[in-house]
Every structure is written in C-alpha cells, then in structure tokens.
Homo-oligomer: A and B are copies of this chain.
Amino acid sequence: MFVQKLLQEIKSKGNSCVVGLDPTLEMMPDKLKRKYLLKGSMEEIAQMFWEFNKTIIDYTSELTPCIKVQIAFYERYGLPGLEVFYKTLDYGKKKGLMTIADVKRGDIGSTAKAYAQGFLTNSSIDSITVNPYFGSDGLLPFVEETKGGEKGLFILVKTSNPSSKELQDLKTEDGQFIYEKVADLVSSFAGDYTEFSHIGSVVGGTHREHLKRLREKLKGFILVPGYGAQGGKGEDIKYAFNSQGYGALVCSSRGITEHYKKIGEENYGLAAKISLEMMIEDINREIEKGVK
C-alpha cells in the first residue's frame, strides 16, 4: 500500500525530502554537453538527461525516500524525452525509491479515466499529481485507479507561484477561499484513516499560513514543492508536518541538481548528494524545533 511503503521509506531513511528530476539544457554540466550534443537532436538531449538523472539517482538513492519527475521537461523533447521520463521513474523504483510522476492531469470523467489508467494502473509509478479544476467527477476516476490505497494521489490545492492568488485565493460568498474549497474536495475523497490517507495534496512551500491551516484540514500527505530555488524555507515548510514530524514530502529540484554550479562540475552527482544532505539537516532541524 502506498502510504505504508512511503512511511517505511521515510522512517528508514530518516527524512521526508524528495529529489526532483526536472532536467533542462541549462542545467547540464559542460562535460555532458560535450559528450552528447553533437547535432543538438532531441535524441541526444534525451540521452544526456538520462545519464544525468541516473547519476543523480545513484548518488542520492541511499538518502532520499522518494523522487519526483516533472513530465514537462521530458515532453519538451518529444518521444525520446518521454522515453527518458518513464525510464527515470523505473530506475528510481529499481533503486528502491518511491516515485511521484508530476503530471498535473485533469479532465472530464472518461478522459480522466484514460489518464489514470495510463499513469497508475498500467505502470509501476507509485503516485501522480492531479489538477482539481473539473471538480469531483474529474477527480473520481483518479481516486478509483488508486485501488483503495495501492497507489497515491497529490491533488493541487495551493500552488507556490505568485499568481496562484488570482484564482486560488479568491474568497467565496461564504467566506472560504477557493483553495479551502478544494481542500474540502480532497478531504471528501480521503476516507476515514487513522494514520494518513493515500489521497494527498500539493501546497506550495512559500505559504506558512496556508500550510498551518491546511495541515489541520487534510488527512493525506502534503507534497510541498518549492524548497530552495522557488523560495520555500524550512521554517515555513515545517508547518506541513504533524506534531510527530510526519505527513509531508518536501521537494527540491534545481536546488539539488544544480548544486554543482557552486562547487564545480567535476562530480555533479556528489554535489547533488551534498546539497540533499544539507536540505535534510535543515528540514529535520526545523521539524525538531517543533511547530510553534
């Protein structure tokens, strides 16, 4: 079951940090560019991303419980890119990691079902992210394909970008914010769990107040993107955890994978590991200080 496996990984690794694998051309070390970019084809770029991802996973898989792979950065390079997206998730699995495919899909019922089958039923991916704009009948097919908890979902509630306020922070007639309405929707699917539900949510790491309020409301794991590069800080993010220090996943992508730019590209895998170690220390220290 998704939540049990996730908690087991978190406990054995001693942290709730997630390595995000969102490769871009600008992110690649020069030595990889020299090795792969001969004609600049999509195939070459995809092959380069594959070596990069594998190296990052090899260096971080003993530390991190989970990887998150954002499909946009692969889809950008067509089918060769998408092949590396799936291969990366498979490789993470093989290394014993939990996997999140960050695909943010959302559509009407029959289409949502097709997405859910593709990413959950017909694949080894553990969990995906989902967009709630269609309401409950667009979410239900995803919930169904989790098969009562074998797989997990993370439904967007409050995103980390500045403009998220334009829609998500609108106040409705009854005084609730839109993102709270979405949180209610998420809770309605989360069922009656004594520990954590497999129906989780996504809440940006830049909103301490939101994290506080939503941690009380939500029964599932909260996936918090935006640590580091997007401005999320441990002292805010800790509010996504419960008083025992569980129930959130904190993700950093560029902060980890581009850390080599600060200390030299000779060993970009080791640089990623060092950055992850610092992140784990920061988050664990903040959790330990407690939620005041």
Number of A residues with CB within 8 Å of any CB on chain B:
57
The reply to whether B159 and A114 form a contact with Cβ atoms under 8 Å apart is no
The reply to whether B114 and A137 form a contact with Cβ atoms under 8 Å apart is no
The reply to whether B75 and A118 form a contact with Cβ atoms under 8 Å apart is yes
The reply to whether B161 and A115 form a contact with Cβ atoms under 8 Å apart is no
The reply to whether B78 and A114 form a contact with Cβ atoms under 8 Å apart is no
> Which residues of chain B come closer than 8 Å to A119, judged between CB atoms?
75
Q: Is A291 an interface residue (CB 8 A)?
A: no
Q: Is A14 an interface residue (CB 8 A)?
A: no
Residue among A81, A82, A108, A138 with the most chain B CB within 10 A?
A108
> Which residues of chain B come closer than 8 Å to A86, judged between CB atoms?
78-79
Query: Which of A100-128 touch B at CB < 8 Å?
Result: 104-109, 111-112, 114-115, 117-119, 122-123
Query: Which of A14-63 touch B at CB < 8 Å?
Result: 22, 24
The reply to whether A111 and B171 form a contact with Cβ atoms under 8 Å apart is no
- A230 and B119 CA atoms in complex are apart in Å by 25
How distant is A103 from chain B, measured CB to nearest CB, in Å? Answer: 9
The reply to whether A108 and B178 form a contact with Cβ atoms under 8 Å apart is no
> Which residues of chain B come closer than 8 Å to A78, judged between CB atoms?
86, 118, 122-123
> Which residues of chain B come closer than 8 Å to A24, judged between CB atoms?
114
> Which residues of chain B come closer than 8 Å to A83, judged between CB atoms?
79
How distant is A210 from chain B, measured CB to nearest CB, in Å? Answer: 15
Q: Is A98 an interface residue (CB 8 A)?
A: no
Q: List 10 A-B pairs, minimum CB-CB distance, nearest first.
A: A135-B163, A135-B166, A137-B163, A76-B118, A72-B114, A108-B161, A72-B115, A75-B118, A76-B114, A136-B163
Chain A residues packing against B (C-beta within 8 Å)? 22, 24, 70, 72-73, 75-79, 81-83, 86, 104-109, 111-112, 114-115, 117-119, 122-123, 131-138, 156, 159-168, 170-173, 178, 181-182, 185, 230
